[in-house]
Amino acid sequence: MTAQLQNNQLLYQREAKLLKSSYINNKINLEASLILLNNLDQVTLDYITLKLNKLNQNTFSSFIQVNQCYNITLAKCTLDINFSAFVVNQAVLSTGGAINLSKVNLILKNSQIESNKAQIGGGIYYQQIVPDFVLLIQKGIKQNNTIQNNYASIYVLDEEGTPVFIPSIQNQSSLSDDVLLIIRQINIEITCDQLNVQQIQCVGNLKSSDYQNGGFYLTVQPMYKPLSTMIMKIRSNVFPQLVDSNNNIQINQGQLDLQVLLNFDQCKIGQIQKQFSNSIICESCPEGKYSLDILDGECKKCPDSADYCSGSKIQLKNGYWRSNEFTDDIIYCNYNPDVCQPQSNKSKFNCARGYIGMICRSCDIYGQIWEDSQI
């Protein structure tokens, strides 16, 4: 332990050094880190090799875990790694394939972080403080480090603090508490509010924090009015900011904010315009009713000459005829009811084979419809 004078107060710091050590091919099934360093203000690792280790338990840790400072009055606490290698290590169910940092700055020089794997933070996982080595890499300064081929199954934040990818996880209960905490902090919400537009409404399951089967499941029915546009917003919860070791903001507090432009068509034939609160909706005519005119104020009752009606569909009974599907002028085939076969999938224009014209009373002698001549 060392002491320093700061603001006329004697502050004590705890320090630890680990030198010239190797940890190779360990299979860890206990709920603990291989190296756990808590409440230390300065940690130095020199000439350390961590290779082919595998952490199988869903612990709240990684192989090397360094947590917040012993002296909370210090502006920062630091992990200093030099001439070390962290290669092919796996924290199968947890965070940080090799190193896990909480409120700790990392100075990394002349070292190798390669081919490590974890659920989050394939090589190194850090919280709240963006380590110095990350900021230097962003400036193109590698300090003789090799950092490559590290893999994370879950990507939670990109460089702008936006959630980008969470894959389908079949058994979340097997994951570590820290991974579950991160996933469950994320929630998604749909909003449809727009300034001075009271007619816009959205109903349904508009908010979810239940992540399953590869995503967040929401249902929404937006309502406004025909031939109009609106903006639907999909937002996440607010993610905390990240600072550097000097407490300068590196990633602002923010959230995922996606805007979707919706274009509303006019009502279609078979639908009726109806007032729904402040909005106008297009409601399809239910079974037993129909509409063939977009100006209809209400759906019409299915006629006795029809076997089925819904939307714009009128399915006639055999023995009846109409000129096309856009009219409800229905005629009984009194000349010969048997040749009017609208219920048969072999008929054409409601007529049995060989017959054409109004109420199917003419023979298709030249094969105009049925192709083969009836002469």
Highest mean pLDDT among 56-70, 124-138, 306-320: 306-320
Identity at 161, one-letter amino acid code = G
Residue 8 reports pLDDT greater than 50: no
Indicate the SS3 state at residue 236.
strand
Degrees, nearest 5: CA angle 199-202-206: 155
User: pLDDT higher for 143 or 204?
Assistant: 143
Conformational region of residue 138, where left means phi above 0, alpha means psi within -120 to 50, and beta covers everything else = alpha
Arithmetic mean of pLDDT over the chain: 81
User: pLDDT higher for 162 or 357?
Assistant: 357
Structure tokens at 271: 């639908």
Residue 4 reports pLDDT greater than 50: no
Helix (H) or strand (E) holding 9: strand 9-13
Residue 65 reports pLDDT greater than 60: yes
Q: Is 116 exposed, middle or buried (0-12, 13-18, 19+ CB in 10 A)?
A: buried
- Residue 338 is predicted with a pLDDT of 95
- Classify residue 287 by its DSSP letter: T
Rg over CA atoms, the chain: 35
State how far the Cα of 319 lies from the Cα of 266, in Å rounded to an integer.
Answer: 36
Whether pTM > 0.85 for this model: the answer is no
- Residue 192 is predicted with a pLDDT of 81
Structure tokens at 270: 């078979």
